Amino acid sequence: MRILVIEDDPKIASFIRRGLMQENYAVDHAADGSQGASMAEDRAYDLIIVDLLLPKLAGMQVILRTRQKRPKVPILVLTAKASVEDIVAALDAGADDYLRKPFDFAELTARLRALLRRGNSTITEYRIADLVLDPGRRTVSRGGQMIDLSVKEFALLEYLLHHAHRPVTRTSIIEHVWDLHFDTFTNIVDVYVNYLRNKLDKNFSPRLIHTVRGVGYVLTDENHPTA
């Protein structure tokens, strides 16, 4: 899951970003409304957190612009403006929920989980062949056998399942699962794909995780010409 945080206070932004990364979310940050609106328009985020009091472009305008391009993305407003009128205006503009500053991080993450569940209400589980991943319960099984995955293995599998039957690049995997934003020669993706293969493919048929030479990987139960 990738979240965009639009917050001009560097301490608050750092606090949120660090905490969400510890919860295994990938997090991007924009320090002003103009940058945040552009990022929200250019990239499909799973959720957006936006302050109302922002330089260059007010949070209300960010919400309105985002809703035109991304009508379904959940938006959570963080605000020090506590008036009912401000909150109503933000919700009417397209926000899904709000949280007043100062806030408790546990409440923030609880509200994010609720919004993400609501946004993915039509997806109760992912299935390919006899592989089942339940994102709500965070369980994985194949052939009726429960499979224990680490946090990163689960995140990688969920990302592959979300893009099932479509090749995904190593770069996109690194960005979404490890929250790295630069080209790297690390083989961490290949290592973790191998972990998944040992747990999900080694003792089962058909093989589901395939290498796409020169690109990355694809998870599919369809015939695939590559290794």
Please give the pLDDT value at position 122.
46
Q: Residue 226 falls within a domain, yes or no?
A: no
pLDDT tens track for 40-52: 998 878 899 999 9
In a domain, 140, yes or no: yes
Q: Which residues constitute the domain of residue 202?
A: 126-219
How many angstroms separate the CA atoms of 191 and 76, rounded? 35
Distance from C-alpha of 188 to C-alpha of 181, rounded to nearest angstrom = 14
56 phi-psi bin (left φ>0, alpha ψ -120 to 50, beta other): left
CA gap 73, 67 in Å, rounded: 8
Do 113 and 18 lie in one domain? The reply is yes
The tens digit of pLDDT for each residue in 54-64 reads: 999 999 999 99
Q: Across residues 4-27, what is the average pLDDT?
A: 90
Question: Is the same domain home to 20 and 111?
Answer: yes
Please tell me the pTM assigned to this model: 0.63
User: Whole-number mean pLDDT of the chain?
Assistant: 87
- 163-183 pLDDT per residue, tens: 888 899 988 888 878 776 655
- Domain edge (last residue) among 89, 104, 119: 119
Q: Do 131 and 84 share a structural domain?
A: no
8-12, 79-83, 140-144, 201-205: segment of lowest average pLDDT = 79-83
Rounded to an integer, what distance in angstroms lies between the CA atom of residue 122 and that of residue 202? 31
pLDDT in tens, 125-167: 788 999 999 877 788 999 999 999 988 899 899 889 888 888 9
- Between CA 126 and CA 160 the distance in angstroms is 10
Structural domain tally of the chain?
2
Q: Which of 7-16, 69-78, 116-125, 172-181 has the lowest mean pLDDT?
A: 116-125
Query: Which CATH number characterizes residue 154's domain?
Result: 1.10.10.10
